[in-house]
Structure 1
Amino acid sequence: MARLLSARQLRPVELDFADTAPLRLAFTADLGVSPERVYAALADELETWPCWFTAVSEVRPTAGGKGRDVRLKGGGFFEETVLAARPCERYTYRIDRTNAPGLRAMVEDWNLAPSPAGGARVRWTMAVDGTGALRTVLLLGRPGLGASFRDAMRKLERRLRP
């Protein structure tokens, strides 16, 4: 993957950072497909992410599936380490290197559970440590991040429905 801006190494955090980060933004959606199918799309079908998450232009596995390289539209990128891969339950990764300014540490945590209406309840949490300016931008951008998440979940649900 081409790198448009120089990469910076982030602080290596562990799984508990998803619950203890200085800034946590969480979004939830219910999908009319099983947690098994949602998990497969998140963890196993990386090449399909750009089809349903419009900010993403490419995702590919690294380190035998223990890592990911993610390229965003506009030139952003993440080099990631998978921290948790529990089928039908949780898929969590840490950002190790990025060209995104202001980040010090970041984890994205996808939790899956059966939805009361049937299907899957998906909770996506962005756990972040960064500069004050970055935290302000993320807080102000929370409605847009939520809209992006909801749009991605609608597209994912359409893609996964038989």
Structure 2
Amino acid sequence: MATMHPCEKVGVDFVDTAPYRFSNSVDLRITPEQVFEVMADASAWPRWAKVITKVTWTSPPPYGPGTTRTVDMRGGLVATEEFLVWEPSTTIAFRFNEASEKTIRAFAERYDVLRTDTGCRLTWNLSLDVDGPARRTMPIARPINNLAFKWFLRNLRRHTDKVYGSSANRSV
């Protein structure tokens, strides 16, 4: 396993206060409950968030605050995550407790789900703080990162359309 470096154990408020923040939304033709089925499915993450190669839950279900998992990503990045919020059908949030890249000082994500007439709207908030050379390159990389995050959400919509099909919003 990769050498792990501790990250700052931030709270969910970090999502709104971090030096580098991204927020994007997607309308999905599934219920909020189905969004949480996708979020709990370790095999689904690499299908839509293409930077992720593997998700391993290290806590048993049912998932909630304190649940942990390990995420392997392209380029060799590995992170251990801890969920701070797990409110079924509305919000999940997690942070990195450790990362194989020592320039990641702090990292957290929050997913907010709102029911709509045609399914739901998922808003993905990703926030981080970095050290070293990453601090100098982050302003330049920010627009590229944001485009990638938008692409991941389009992938999520394609994935949920495929998994749940046209019958997905019958229970909305």
Normalised-by-shorter TM-score class:
0.7 to 0.9
Matched, 1:10 2:7: yes
Please show how residues 69-108 of structure 1 align to structure 2 within 5 Å.
Answer: 69-108=70-109
Distance 1:75 1:12 in 2: 22
Unaligned runs of 5+ residues in structure 2 are 166-172
Distance 2:137 2:80 in 1: 19
Of 31-40 and 60-69, more deviation after overlay is shown by 60-69
Matched, 1:32 2:29: yes
Please show how residues 1-162 of structure 1 align to structure 2 within 5 Å.
Answer: 2-3=1-2, 6-42=3-39, 44-64=40-60, 65=63, 66-115=67-116, 117-131=117-131, 132-133=135-136, 135-162=138-165
Normalised to the residue count of structure 1, the TM-score between the two structures is 0.86
Query: Which structure's CA Rg is the greater one?
Result: 2
After TM superposition, give the deviation of residue 91 of structure 1 in Å: 1.0
After TM superposition, give the deviation of residue 134 of structure 1 in Å: 5.1
Normalised to the residue count of structure 2, the TM-score between the two structures is 0.81
Unaligned runs of 5+ residues in structure 1 are none
After TM superposition, give the deviation of residue 68 of structure 1 in Å: 0.9
Matching residue's letter, 2:124: W
Deviations 1:1-29 (A, max 9, x none): x32xx321111111111122122101100
After TM superposition, give the deviation of residue 41 of structure 1 in Å: 0.9
Deviations 1:43-87 (A, max 9, x none): x21232223322211101113351010011231111000100000
Distance 2:85 2:118 in 1: 24
Percent of counterpart pairs with the same letter? 22
Distance 1:136 1:47 in 2: 32
Cα 1:63/1:137, change in 2 over 3 Å = farther
